[in-house]
Amino acid sequence: MAPLLIFVIFVISLALQGSVLALAGPAGVQPDILLVVTVALALLADLRRGAIVGMCAGLCQDILFGAPLGFFAVSKMLVGAAAGLLAADINKELTWSAMVLMPLFTLFSDFLCLILLKLFQIAATLPFLTYLQQVTLPRIAMHFLIMGIIYPHLFRIQKRSLLFAESEVEE
């Protein structure tokens, strides 16, 4: 049931990201709803599950939006793993804890994407500081607000153990 529910969440996120939100945003900067969902799910899970969720989300994004296969999968997997690593150290009941971490993960994701773009010469990219100012900063603000909307709903779903089974306690 949980993988199916997560897949439905991905599909809804991708539909919003590819249709309605593709037209929104200042100066053509679009929010990455799938990144926000990946971070939220990883914060509700752990390192391993965060990495798996990130990789699956990134592969879906690669397939649907025509990026080179693995491009978004790598960046979202690393972001999911990093968020999952912090999952045990945050108060999951506070939406603010997820919202405060979201700018860090947005910056990390955009930095990884920029490095991959330059490394594989996929497209002409802006210099880092220009990219940071024109793309990343508006995206940070959007992701901060979107996390405040999405996280409480995902937390309620997780509270019913519909997303992830409770982690086994290691001795």
Residue 165 within a domain? no
Residue 115 within a domain? yes
Long-range contacts of 6-13 (CB under 8 A, 24+ apart): 6/41, 6/53, 6/56, 6/163, 9/37, 9/41, 9/154, 10/34, 10/37, 10/56, 10/57, 10/60, 13/37, 13/57
Q: Find the CATH number of the domain harbouring 17.
A: 1.10.1760
95 vs 66, residue with greater confidence:
95
- Residue 171, pLDDT > 80, answer no
168 vs 98, residue with greater confidence:
98
What is the number of domains present in the chain?
A: 1
pLDDT in tens, 81-134: 999 999 999 999 999 999 999 999 999 999 998 888 888 777 666 788 888 898
Residue 21 within a domain? yes
CB atoms inside a 10 Å sphere around CB 167: 12
Tokens 């969720």, residue? 53
Residue 111 within a domain? yes
Q: What is the pTM of this model?
A: 0.90
Residue 49 within a domain? yes
- Residue 168, pLDDT > 60, answer no
CA max distance for the chain: 52
DSSP, residue by residue, 46-70: -HHHHHHHHHHHHHHHHHHHTPPTT
Residue 39 and residue 80 in contact, taking contact as beta carbons nearer than 8 Å: yes
Residue 119 within a domain? yes
- Residue 33, pLDDT > 80, answer yes
Average pLDDT over residues 15-41: 84
- Which residue range(s) make up the domain with 131? 2-159
| Tally: H helices and E strands in the chain | 7, 0
Residue 29 within a domain? yes
Residue 170 within a domain? no
